[in-house]
Amino acid sequence: MPVKLMCVAGARPNFMKVAPLCRELGSDPDFHVVFVHTGQHYDEAMSEAFLRDLELKPPDHNLEVGSGSHAQQTAEIMRRFEPVLLAERPAAVLVVGDVNSTMACALVARKLDTAVVHAEAGLRSFDRGMPEEINRIVTDAISDLLLVTEESGRRNLLREGIANDRIHLVGNLMIDSLRGRLEQARRSDILDRLGVRGGSFGVVTLHRPANVDDGGRLRDLLAALEAVGQDTPLYFPVHPRTRERLAGLHAAHESVHFLPPLSYLDFLCLMANSRVVLTDSGGIQEETTALGVPCLTLRNNTERPVTVELGTNTLAGTTSRTILAAWEEMKGRPPKGGIPPLWDGRAAARCRQVLRAFFDVR
């Protein structure tokens, strides 16, 4: 009888992590994968297009949760996930990343005495003002098996009292997706559609509440982007959450080109051909490191320190002054990063081996 695993995804970054894992486990006759999409990201560009680009099978269950405050969304995910879990009765629930869906489904599973596996465990920004940090801490505390992307994650979990035999350094599932789709992404016509050539532009993403919910900070960030854009035109696919906050703010910013959300392949092509990426996203810090593209992270901290220590990432802060200083330094001395250990496109295979041992599959 195959081991039934329930893989949960809810938001755009989750899909890049579960796609290689679902394929790897789906090829193993000793596992049966049930894919649950919570619907935390639910519009075409943020959800359906990603599923297609990643060749991820249609979800077996779509909870269609939608948006709301953190409390509302988390509660609604839990309410809708519980009957699905009771009906399916998997051996374990596998959650990825640090979004509300991750913590909510882990909590439901744990309360129903179902094993929890957390992929991308142990990452810490040490900033509890970030909702994602709370999701990470809670999920790790109740997980039975913790799959880690970088050495800092292992150290963090050990410091928090997690037993060493529950922690496994497996590499980065997001990089599996990137490596597996990069050649296909390079065939995208996004550069022609935008009328740009490789290396002549930068890419921007912003979505974290600390950056986009404060009108004063958002204006200061836009001023910095406008200044950078005078050197290198910037293309900014706007997250739906950010679009609401930008209403009426960006009309005068002619060197920053605002775009609708892009598909995974279009965005990967744009990022791979860019001169620089300015972002507050955790996953993009990892992707730019894998691509060798300089990244200015518009935050004061990162839960992915390996991207700074070994990769191409620089913490640029959140003020116009610090961002422009980091930009000037980057222009004069672009970072020449390397690829962190185990970011080789084989993380899913290592996860499968860990899961086989955990469930004593012979």
pLDDT for the residue 239: 80
Contacts of 362 (CB under 8 A, 6+ apart): none
* Euclidean distance between CA atoms 109 and 171, whole angstroms: 25
pLDDT for the residue 350: 98
Cβ atoms within 10 Å of 243's Cβ, excluding its own: 15
pLDDT for the residue 45: 55
pLDDT for the residue 220: 93
Instruction: Report the run of H or E that residue 321 belongs to, with start and end.
Output: helix 320-332
Q: What is the pTM of this model?
A: 0.95
207 is catalytic: yes
pLDDT for the residue 242: 81
Structure tokens at 132: 């994602």
pLDDT for the residue 44: 55
* Euclidean distance between CA atoms 214 and 187, whole angstroms: 38
pLDDT for the residue 231: 94
Structure tokens at 201: 């532009």
Active-site residue, from 32, 41, 168, 207: 207
Q: Please give the domain boundaries of the chain with CATH numbers for all domains.
A: 3-171+343-358 (3.40.50.2000), 181-332 (3.40.50.2000)
pLDDT for the residue 41: 65
CA angle 312, 331, 178 (to 5 degrees): 30
pLDDT beneath 70: ranges in the chain: 41-47, 248-253
Instruction: Report the run of H or E that residue 121 belongs to, with start and end.
Output: strand 115-121
Ramachandran sector of residue 122 (left: φ over 0; alpha: ψ -120 to 50; beta: rest): left
Structure tokens at 143: 């997980």
Contacts of 347 (CB under 8 A, 6+ apart): 20, 149, 170, 171, 172, 173, 175, 176
Instruction: Report the run of H or E that residue 12 belongs to, with start and end.
Output: helix 12-26
* Euclidean distance between CA atoms 274 and 34, whole angstroms: 37
Give Cα 101 distance to the centre of its chain: 13
Helix (H, G, I), strand (E, B) or coil at 72: helix
User: With 0-12 CB in 10 A as exposed, 13-18 as middle and 19+ as buried, what is 4?
Assistant: middle
User: With 0-12 CB in 10 A as exposed, 13-18 as middle and 19+ as buried, what is 71?
Assistant: exposed
pLDDT for the residue 207: 87
CB 5 within 8 A of CB 43: no
* Euclidean distance between CA atoms 109 and 353, whole angstroms: 23
pLDDT for the residue 128: 95
**In b/e form, how buried is each residue of 191-218, taking b as 16+ CB within 10 angstroms?**
beeeebeeeebbbbbbbbebbbeeeebb
